[in-house]
Structure 1
């Protein structure tokens, strides 16, 4: 949590006018003194919304690392550590421009479009929530998503502080149409939000290819260097796949496809001990 305030200061240079907070404080983050009954707080309801004007740059840099915003959340599934944030940022502006509400079902993510929606599953106890992603972060190498206080409470990770989760994006019809034919976006934006369905994890996992992503790099030479270093340490196939982000190629170093996400987690643990802490499971 201590990195989040520094994050606001860093991004404010890049996204002028986005942040309302801009002072480093020694205040520690915490849960509210009076605990609400989160069972009465409903999950976020996915709906078609316009993208945040300032929250979706093609790329941005924090602590010397470049992050590339996804053009769409469609088919996004990833596992990793979830953390949470509370009173320290309650009422302060998020990356999407909305005020942070620790009692709402929201979350922060480094690359998903703002806003977007996702189902988050606690892999330790099976609990699920649906959140609206309206903020950027967490900028720790070992964290995938930062949950609001209420979302983290519902998932049962408040006491421990972190938990292993699976994040499954929920894509509205508007977003899918916008990807296929941008000219249709205006017409769809005025339509009534459509119903959505979250596919059961086991069904999608059986069909999706599982990879372990070591990292994503802006230059092919750096990706090749990392690929060689990793391949010397493991027997599994290491390869590079490229993807366009705002006409700029991004080179992803991946291991796989792997037999399962569980096996990928074991490989990730091995690589972490070998100096590759950013490895994470992706499914396509």
Structure 2
């Protein structure tokens, strides 16, 4: 377990994040400002969102958080989501931008970097990474009343919140775009050798024909994120979703006539970042 001293130290750093008045020490170059991506209007669950550079953003509402299900996947601005990063998702603010989040339930305050879109749940205004939620005391209750205020921190704070340097990846804007989305999906390699045998798991798939094969990609608790993922996967193959009694939405591609046909699709899904995807087939006798 990490020492509890880490939390006050990070919160103190966040409290010092003002509107860019602090200068770096003499002889230390100020880091270059990251490229800001505002993005085009997009639609999730029938609602249109309009990204904007709202420099005076100051809103009170409900915060939630997201973690392991998305860890290692792509965020809306092309980064790799790290649940240990001090980041958050917002529906309309630029990416990256910075906000000061104040937990009105316990008085904690933290500066976080916006690098994703969400949460697509009515009444929620920000979706925190797991680390941000832990620092703000939101992880255990799951949600909290917060104030979210746009801030413009100095170079040192921006550098402390910057993501690790990774090779660039091409990622679409979230959900169904008003304009055609620019989606890059790894294409099948011509004249490639036959795919190796891939295990197929037998599961209950309501209404599916026995003997068919699906690529099971993810099971998500946020319907908006499930809708985004469905739009992202559509160029690969037919996407089907299943709402479970637990509230999760399972996302699959298929059906395919056999594992040989489905395996190249699985490879493309895994190459797109969904490495836990697998092949499944309906269980005989399942409703």
Length-normalised TM-score, structure 1 = 0.45
Larger Cα Rg: Structure 1 or Structure 2? 2
